[in-house]
Amino acid sequence: MSLIEEDDVRGGRGVFKDISAEDDDMQPTIIESLCMNCYENGSTRLLLTKIPFFKEIIISSFTCAHCNWSNTEIQSAGRIQDQGVTYTLRVRSKQDLNREVVKADSATTRIPELDFEIPAYTQKGSLSTIEGLIERAATGLEQEQPTRKATVPEVAEKIDKFIEKLKKLKDVEQEFTVVIDDPSGNSFVENPFVPQKDEALSVTHYKRTPEQDAQLGLKADDGAEEDTEEKAGSDIDALRNEVLMFNTNCPECNAPASTNMKLVQIPHFKEVIIMATNCDSCGHRTNEVKSGGATEELGTKITLHVTDPSDMSRDLLKSETCHIMIPELEFELGMGAVAGKFTTLEGLLKDIKDLIVSKNPFTCGDSATPGRAEKIELFGKKIDQIMAGEMDVHVILDDPAGNSYLQNVYAPDPDPEMTVEKYERTFEQKEDLGLNDMQTENYQ
């Protein structure tokens, strides 16, 4: 059963039918609701579903049988993310207009070429396409035009001309840019080329300002944080030998859960923090690794030439800022796509295969496009060949923060199959890490 008709959200129907096909028990919840158009009773359908390579969302679709009025909204089913996110898409062809977009309430949408902006909280969250966003913006401007023409005709004339420019974007006669900036981190723009890198789409994560935290309803307890920092700083040696436990919420079901944290010293590298969360309610388990030190002065690029199956047992630390590349497969995984983790090279490849192949709903149902399923299946087979030592490849870990690590099995001697390069970060890399605006000396 499809929750949203094709006319409601272009490009979204296939995703929901695909997920429903995978889980026959997933059915929408129907609630009787008041229609705000004719004030008769209509029905609202609610469905919890998952956007591929993104997260779970709640979709609500209202329809009224009396006046045929309908409305569709989305809400994030998870928590507010640790960082905000900005998606910048260069629309070069009509195919780009079909990209699926999750736009949260807190997201700001901009088209710089038209000097056009839709501020945050002026529209409800929606699941649509780039074309759908443009059409919705034009429709919103047209709603008040009859009143404007009667009261301020000169303003109405200017808005008519702007609406024409906005609708003309759908012909893609010239390239234009769509920017979606969401401090909550719960918006999303589809990459149709996964697992390859999307040259037209750039994703930037950033630290929220205090004003953005206040807008989202987040407020830190400064006094409690200072007390915790002083206590941790005075007793750091005891912390190294102790597993700390603190309460949190499960990222899957939002039930109360516990997270264990431990400081671990990696030989020939540095100290890291390992965090593991277990949920007794739904059984969800996750682990994450974060650097225990400061950002390094230089970025680090580690290149391993995989020549033997024994390379799969090398210890590997991937920070959340690390890019992963396999040139022979034309594969690149950006930072933030997979959380930081301490594992082996084989474990990392298995995680990549699960992310691209096993957990990808785009490979079946009417969401699959011709050739996409075959490409993803072939990619999975090549990953298996690499883990079996049957394929000669290079695995590259590029970490601008310098906090990633790959074991040198010949230590303390140099590893003939591995090179470690230190490099100066670019302005863009510093911007992604939040270093351009960071000042630690001579500040007022």
* pLDDT tens for each residue of 347-376: 889 888 888 877 666 666 555 666 777 888
d(CA 334, CA 319): 11
CB 61 within 8 A of CB 125: no
The predicted pLDDT at position 302 comes to 93
Burial label, 65 (beta-carbon count in 10 A; 0-12, 13-18, 19+): exposed
d(CA 108, CA 113): 16
* pLDDT tens for each residue of 121-142: 888 777 789 998 999 888 888 8
CB 396 within 8 A of CB 345: no
pLDDT for 444 beyond 60: no
Percent of the chain scoring above 90 in pLDDT: 19
In the predicted model, what is the mean pLDDT of residues 37-43?
88
Give me the residue label for tokens 């893609």: 172
Residue 269: count of CB within 10 angstroms of its CB = 15
d(CA 36, CA 69): 9
Q: Which residues pair with 284 in a beta bridge?
A: none
- Mutual orientation of helices 130-143 and 153-168 as an angle, nearest 10°? 170
If you ran DSSP here, which 8-state letter would residue 231 be given?
H
Distance of CA 211 to the CA centre of its chain: 22
Secondary structure (3-state) at 409:
coil
d(CA 193, CA 178): 18
Give me the residue label for tokens 């303003």: 155
Measuring CA to CA, which residue among 213, 284, 290, 224 is closest to residue 254? Answer: 284
The predicted pLDDT at position 433 comes to 79
Q: 299 CB contacts (<8 Å, ≥6 apart)?
A: 398, 399, 400, 401, 402, 422, 423, 424, 425, 429
d(CA 48, CA 53): 16
Secondary structure (3-state) at 430:
helix
Q: Which residues pair with 324 in a beta bridge?
A: 333, 397
The predicted pLDDT at position 112 comes to 92
Distance of CA 343 to the CA centre of its chain: 22
Angle at 246 between CA 317 and CA 236, to 5 degrees: 65
* pLDDT tens for each residue of 313-357: 998 888 888 889 999 988 888 876 777 777 899 988 988 888 887
Residue 368 φ then ψ, to 5°: -75, 135
If you ran DSSP here, which 8-state letter would residue 283 be given?
-
Q: Which residues pair with 189 in a beta bridge?
A: 101
Angle at 298 between CA 294 and CA 304, to 5 degrees: 105
Task: Give the CA radius of gyration of the chain.
Answer: 25
Measuring CA to CA, which residue among 216, 232, 116, 241 is closest to residue 169? Answer: 116
Measuring CA to CA, which residue among 95, 120, 115, 3 is closest to residue 57? Answer: 3
d(CA 316, CA 392): 19
Distance of CA 355 to the CA centre of its chain: 13
The predicted pLDDT at position 333 comes to 85
Residue 418's pLDDT band (boundaries 50, 70, 90)?
A: very high
